[in-house]
Structure 1
Amino acid sequence: MFNTRLCELLNIKYPIIQGGMAWVATHELAQAVSKAGGLGIIAAGNAPKEVIREEIKKLRENTDKPFGVNIMLMSPFADDIMDLVCEEKVPVVTTGAGNPGKYINRLKSCGIKVIPVVPTVALAKRLEREGVDAVIVEGTEAGGHIGELTTMSLVPQISNAVDIPVIAAGGVADGRGFLAALSLGADGVQIGTRFVCSTECIAHDNYKEKIMKSKDRDAIVTGRSTGYPVRVLKNKFTKEYLELEKKGVPFEELEKLGAGRLRIAVMEGDMDNGSIMAGQVAGLINDVKSCEEIIIDIIKEAEVGLDRLESLKRGE
Structure 2
Amino acid sequence: MELTPFMKSLGLKYPIFQGGMAWVADGKLAAAVSNAGGLGIIGAGNAPGDVVEAEIKTAKSLTDRPFGVNVMLLSPYAEDVVKVILAHQDSIAVVTTGAGNPGKYVADFKAAGIKVIPVVGSVALARMMERVGADAVVAEGMESGGHIGKLTTMALVPQVVDAVKIPVIAAGGIGDGRGMAAAFMLGAQGVQMGTRFLVATESKVHPNYKKAVLKAKDASTMVTGDFAGHPSRVLKNKMAKKYIKLEKAEALKDKPDFAELEELGSGSLRRAVIDGDTATGSFMAGEIAGMVHKEQSAAEILQDVYQQADKLLSGKD
TM range (shorter): over 0.9
Aligned residue type for 2:165: D
Does structure 1 retain, via aligned residues, the 8 Å contact 2:36–2:298? yes
From 90, 99, 102, give the equivalent of 2:101.
99
| Deviation by residue 1:205-260 (Cα, 9 ceiling, x = unmatched) | 11011001011111110000111100000000011100000001522331221000
| Deviation by residue 1:110-161 (Cα, 9 ceiling, x = unmatched) | 2211000011111111211221111000000000000000000000000011
Does structure 2 retain, via aligned residues, the 8 Å contact 1:30–1:42? yes
| Displacement after TM superposition at 1:97 (Å) | 1.2
Give the secondary-structure state (helix, strand or coil) at the position aligned to 1:226: coil
Give the secondary-structure state (helix, strand or coil) at the position aligned to 1:136: strand
CA, structure 1 residues 6+272, in 2 after alignment: closer, same or farther (shift >3 Å)?
A: farther
Could you state the TM-score of these two structures normalised by the residue count of structure 2? Answer: 0.95
- The residue number in structure 2 matching 1:282 is 289
Aligned mates of 2:117, 2:182 — CA distance in 1: 21
Does structure 2 retain, via aligned residues, the 8 Å contact 1:6–1:188? no
- The residue number in structure 1 matching 2:232 is 230
Work out whether 1:302 is the aligned partner of 2:306: no
Does structure 2 retain, via aligned residues, the 8 Å contact 1:222–1:231? yes
Aligned mates of 2:14, 2:280 — CA distance in 1: 37
- The residue number in structure 2 matching 1:188 is 190
- The residue number in structure 1 matching 2:253 is none
- The residue number in structure 1 matching 2:86 is 86
- The residue number in structure 2 matching 1:145 is 147
Aligned mates of 1:226, 1:101 — CA distance in 2: 27
Give the secondary-structure state (helix, strand or coil) at the position aligned to 2:262: helix
Work out whether 1:218 is the aligned partner of 2:220: yes
Does structure 2 retain, via aligned residues, the 8 Å contact 1:205–1:269? yes
Which has the larger displacement, 120-129 or 209-218?
120-129
Does structure 1 retain, via aligned residues, the 8 Å contact 2:103–2:133? no
Does structure 2 retain, via aligned residues, the 8 Å contact 1:5–1:187? no
Aligned mates of 1:167, 1:303 — CA distance in 2: 17
Could you state the TM-score of these two structures normalised by the residue count of structure 1? Answer: 0.95
From 171, 175, 178, give the equivalent of 1:176.
178
Give the secondary-structure state (helix, strand or coil) at the position aligned to 2:227: helix
- The residue number in structure 1 matching 2:300 is 293
Which has the larger displacement, 121-130 or 211-220?
121-130
Aligned mates of 2:43, 2:58 — CA distance in 1: 14
| Deviation by residue 1:26-60 (Cα, 9 ceiling, x = unmatched) | 01110000001000001111111111111111111
- The residue number in structure 2 matching 1:254 is 261
- Aligned pairs, how many? 310
For structure 2, which runs of at least 5 residues remain unmatched after alignment?
251-255
Give the secondary-structure state (helix, strand or coil) at the position aligned to 1:92: strand
Aligned mates of 1:240, 1:96 — CA distance in 2: 27
Give the secondary-structure state (helix, strand or coil) at the position aligned to 2:42: strand
CA, structure 1 residues 111+307, in 2 after alignment: closer, same or farther (shift >3 Å)?
A: closer
Aligned residue type for 1:190: Q
- The residue number in structure 2 matching 1:204 is 206
- The residue number in structure 1 matching 2:132 is 130
Aligned residue type for 1:5: P
Does structure 2 retain, via aligned residues, the 8 Å contact 1:5–1:165? no
Aligned residue type for 1:187: Q
| Displacement after TM superposition at 1:306 (Å) | 2.3
Aligned mates of 1:6, 1:281 — CA distance in 2: 27
- The residue number in structure 2 matching 1:314 is none
